[in-house]
Structure 1
Amino acid sequence: MKQFHIKPFRKLPALFFVASIACCSPATLLAGQSESSILSNATLRAAHTDTDRVIVKYKNNTSMGKITSMSTAQLDALAQRSGMGLRHIRRMADGAQVLQLDKQQYGIRMADVVSTLRADADVEYAEADIKMYPLFVPNDSRYNEQWQYFETTGGLNLPLAWDTTQGSGVVVAVIDTGYVAHADLAANILPGYDMISDATTAQDGNARDADARDNGDWEPAGACYTGSPSSNSSWHGTHVAGTIAAVTHNSTGVAGVANKAKVLPVRVLGRCGGYMSDIADGIIWAAGGTVSGVPANPDPAKVLNLSLGGSGSCSITSQNAINAARNFGATVVVAAGNENINASDSNPANCNGVVTVAATNRNGGRAYYSNFGSVVDVAAPGGDVTSGSGNGILSTLNAGTTTAGADSYAFYQGTSMATPHVAGVAALLYSVKPTITPDEVESTLKTTARVFPATCSQCGSGIVNAAAAVSAAATVTPPPPGNVLIKGVPVSGLAAASGNALTYTLNVPAGATNLSFAISGGSGDADLYVRYGTAPTTSAYDCRPYLSGNNETCNISTVQAGTYHVMVRAYTAFSGVSLVANYVEAVPGAGFTKTGLSATSGSWLNYTLAVPTGMSSLKVNMSGGTGDADLYVRFGSAPTTSSYNCRPYLAGNVEACHFTNPTAGTWFISVRAYSSFSGVTLDAQAAQ
Structure 2
Amino acid sequence: MNHRMPRILFYKKSSATVLLAIAMQTAVGNPSTPADSTYAGTTDEIIVRYRTASDMNALLGNINKKNITSIQSAAIRHGRKVELLETNNSGRIIWKLDRFVFNADAEILAAEIAKNDRRILSAEPNYRMLAPQAITPNDQYWPSQWNMQNSLVGINAPAAWELSTGAGIVVAIPDTGYRPHSDFVANIITGMDFLHYDTEGRDGQIGWPNIKLSTGYVVWQDRDRDATDMGDYFLQRNSSWHGTRIAGIIGSQANNGNGIAGGAYDAKILPLRISGLDNASDKHLEDAITWAVGGNVSSGKWIAGYATNYILEKNRTPARVINISLRRSGTCSVGVQKAITEARNAGAVVVVSAGNDNQDASGFSPANCSGVITVAALDSLGARASYSNYGSIVDIAAPGGTITNNNVRDAIVTPFNDGSTTPGNDNYNYAQGTSLAAPHVAAVAALMLSANPSLSPDQVEAILKATSHRFVGSCAGCGAGMLDAYSAVLAAKGMFIRPFTATSTGSNLDTSRPSLNVTINVEQSDIGKTGNLYVQAVTKNGSSYFLMPNGWVASEISSPLPYRITTLGTTDIPALTGGQLPFQIPGLKIYAGYGLNEYDFLANRRHGLLYSFAETSPTTCSLTVAPSVIAKGAEYSYTVAGTNLPNNAQAFWYGTKNGIADANGDAQGNIQAFPTAYRFSNQSGQNGKYVRYLQIRNSIGEPVCTTNAVSTEMLAAPTCTLSSSPAVVPAGRPYSYAINGANLPPNSEAYVFGTKNGIPDVSGAFFATLVALPADYAYTNQPGWAGTYHRYMEIRQGGVTICKTNTVSNTLQ
Structure 1 length-normalised TM: 0.53
Q: Alignment partner of 1:410: what SS?
A: strand
Q: Alignment partner of 1:237: what SS?
A: helix
Report Cα offsets for 1:607-657 as digits up to 9, x if no partner: xxxxxxxxxxxxxxxxxx99xxxxxxxxxxxxxxxxxxxxxxxxxxxxxxx
Partner of 1:371: 389
Deviation at 1:348, TM superposition (A): 0.8
Partner of 1:210: 225
Q: Does 1:88 align with 2:78?
A: no
Q: Does 1:441 align with 2:460?
A: yes
Q: Does 1:255 align with 2:223?
A: no
Counterpart residue identity of residue 54, structure 1: D
CA contact (8 A) 2:190 2:270 kept: yes
Q: State the distance in 1 between where 2:93 and 2:327 align.
A: 58
Partner of 2:122: none
Alignment partner for residue 364 of structure 2, among 346, 353, 365? 346
Alignment partner for residue 386 of structure 1, among 385, 395, 404? 404
C-alpha spacing 1:602/1:196, structure 2 compared with 1 (3 Å): farther
Q: State the distance in 1 between where 2:230 and 2:252 align.
A: 20
Deviation at 1:202, TM superposition (A): 2.0
Partner of 1:568: none
CA contact (8 A) 2:321 2:349 kept: yes
Question: What are the equivalent positions in structure 2 for 1:36-115 lying under 5 Å apart?
Answer: 48=38, 54-55=44-45, 67-68=59-60, 88-90=85-87, 97-99=94-96
CA contact (8 A) 2:37 2:43 kept: no
Partner of 1:38: none
Question: What are the equivalent positions in structure 2 for 1:331-480 lying under 5 Å apart?
Answer: 331-387=349-405, 388-475=407-494
Partner of 1:505: none
Counterpart residue identity of residue 413, structure 1: Q
Q: Does 1:245 align with 2:245?
A: no
Aligned length: 406
Task: Provide the alpha-carbon RMSD of the alignment.
Answer: 4.1
Q: Alignment partner of 2:183: what SS?
A: coil
CA contact (8 A) 1:360 1:379 kept: yes
Q: Alignment partner of 1:389: what SS?
A: coil
Q: Alignment partner of 1:386: what SS?
A: coil
Q: State the distance in 1 between where 2:62 and 2:84 align.
A: 9
Report Cα offsets for 1:271-303 as digits up to 9, x if no partner: 121121111110111122222221111211111
C-alpha spacing 1:49/1:351, structure 2 compared with 1 (3 Å): same
Q: State the distance in 1 between where 2:458 and 2:191 align.
A: 26
CA contact (8 A) 1:90 1:98 kept: no
Q: Does 1:276 align with 2:282?
A: yes
Q: State the distance in 2 between where 1:69 and 1:399 align.
A: 75
Partner of 2:188: 189
Deviation at 1:195, TM superposition (A): 1.5
Q: State the distance in 2 between where 1:349 and 1:52 align.
A: 40
Question: What are the equivalent positions in structure 2 for 1:525-674 lying under 5 Å apart?
Answer: 599-600=523-524
Deviation at 1:198, TM superposition (A): 4.2
Counterpart residue identity of residue 600, structure 1: Q
Q: State the distance in 1 between where 2:253 and 2:376 align.
A: 26
Deviation at 1:141, TM superposition (A): 1.1
Q: Alignment partner of 1:390: what SS?
A: coil
CA contact (8 A) 1:201 1:274 kept: no
Deviation at 1:375, TM superposition (A): 0.4
Q: State the distance in 2 between where 1:51 and 1:74 align.
A: 33
**Higher relative strand content:** 2
Q: Does 1:164 align with 2:163?
A: yes
Report Cα offsets for 1:379-416 as digits up to 9, x if no partner: 00001112511211101011111111100100011100
C-alpha spacing 1:445/1:200, structure 2 compared with 1 (3 Å): same
Q: State the distance in 1 between where 2:387 and 2:199 align.
A: 30
Q: State the distance in 2 between where 1:167 and 1:597 align.
A: 35
C-alpha spacing 1:100/1:157, structure 2 compared with 1 (3 Å): closer
Structure 2 length-normalised TM: 0.45
Deviation at 1:96, TM superposition (A): 9.1
CA contact (8 A) 2:170 2:318 kept: yes
Q: Alignment partner of 1:148: what SS?
A: coil
CA contact (8 A) 2:133 2:161 kept: no
Q: State the distance in 2 between where 1:156 and 1:303 align.
A: 18
Question: What are the equivalent positions in structure 2 for 1:20-31 lying under 5 Å apart?
Answer: none
Which of these two proteins has the greater Rg computed from alpha carbons? Answer: 2
Deviation at 1:134, TM superposition (A): 7.1
Deviation at 1:47, TM superposition (A): 8.4
Q: State the distance in 1 between where 2:371 and 2:66 align.
A: 54
Counterpart residue identity of residue 439, structure 2: P
Report Cα offsets for 1:24-57 as digits up to 9, x if no partner: xxxxxxxxxxxxxxxxxxxxxx984699983389
Q: Alignment partner of 1:434: what SS?
A: coil
C-alpha spacing 1:146/1:417, structure 2 compared with 1 (3 Å): same
Deviation at 1:152, TM superposition (A): 1.5
C-alpha spacing 1:396/1:47, structure 2 compared with 1 (3 Å): farther
Higher relative contact order (CA 8 A, sep 6+): 1
Q: State the distance in 1 between where 2:62 and 2:186 align.
A: 50
Deviation at 1:199, TM superposition (A): 3.9
Q: Alignment partner of 1:394: what SS?
A: strand
Counterpart residue identity of residue 171, structure 2: V
CA contact (8 A) 1:88 1:100 kept: no
Deviation at 1:251, TM superposition (A): 0.6
Q: State the distance in 2 between where 1:383 and 1:178 align.
A: 23
Q: State the distance in 1 between where 2:148 and 2:528 align.
A: 32
CA contact (8 A) 1:48 1:131 kept: no
**Higher relative helix content:** 1
Q: State the distance in 1 between where 2:62 and 2:346 align.
A: 50
C-alpha spacing 1:129/1:142, structure 2 compared with 1 (3 Å): closer
Question: What are the equivalent positions in structure 2 for 1:261-340 lying under 5 Å apart?
Answer: 261-292=267-298, 293-340=311-358
Counterpart residue identity of residue 358, structure 2: N
Deviation at 1:255, TM superposition (A): 0.8
Q: Alignment partner of 2:409: what SS?
A: helix
C-alpha spacing 1:57/1:136, structure 2 compared with 1 (3 Å): closer
Gaps of 5+ in 2: 1-35, 49-55, 73-82, 102-124, 207-221, 299-310, 498-519, 530-568, 571-606, 608-813
CA contact (8 A) 2:37 2:100 kept: no
Counterpart residue identity of residue 336, structure 2: S
Q: State the distance in 1 between where 2:134 and 2:475 align.
A: 32
CA contact (8 A) 2:496 2:528 kept: no
Q: State the distance in 2 between where 1:174 and 1:161 align.
A: 22
Counterpart residue identity of residue 278, structure 2: C
CA contact (8 A) 1:170 1:301 kept: yes
Q: State the distance in 1 between where 2:360 and 2:163 align.
A: 36
Deviation at 1:244, TM superposition (A): 0.3
Counterpart residue identity of residue 251, structure 2: A
CA contact (8 A) 1:179 1:237 kept: yes
Deviation at 1:361, TM superposition (A): 0.5
Q: State the distance in 2 between where 1:365 and 1:413 align.
A: 14
CA contact (8 A) 1:394 1:409 kept: yes
Q: Alignment partner of 2:435: what SS?
A: helix
Q: State the distance in 2 between where 1:231 and 1:68 align.
A: 81
Deviation at 1:215, TM superposition (A): 0.8
CA contact (8 A) 1:53 1:98 kept: no
Counterpart residue identity of residue 401, structure 1: S
Deviation at 1:263, TM superposition (A): 0.7
454-463 or 281-290, which moves further after superposition? 281-290
Deviation at 1:90, TM superposition (A): 4.8
Report Cα offsets for 1:117-142 as digits up to 9, x if no partner: xxxxxxxxxx9974366762110111
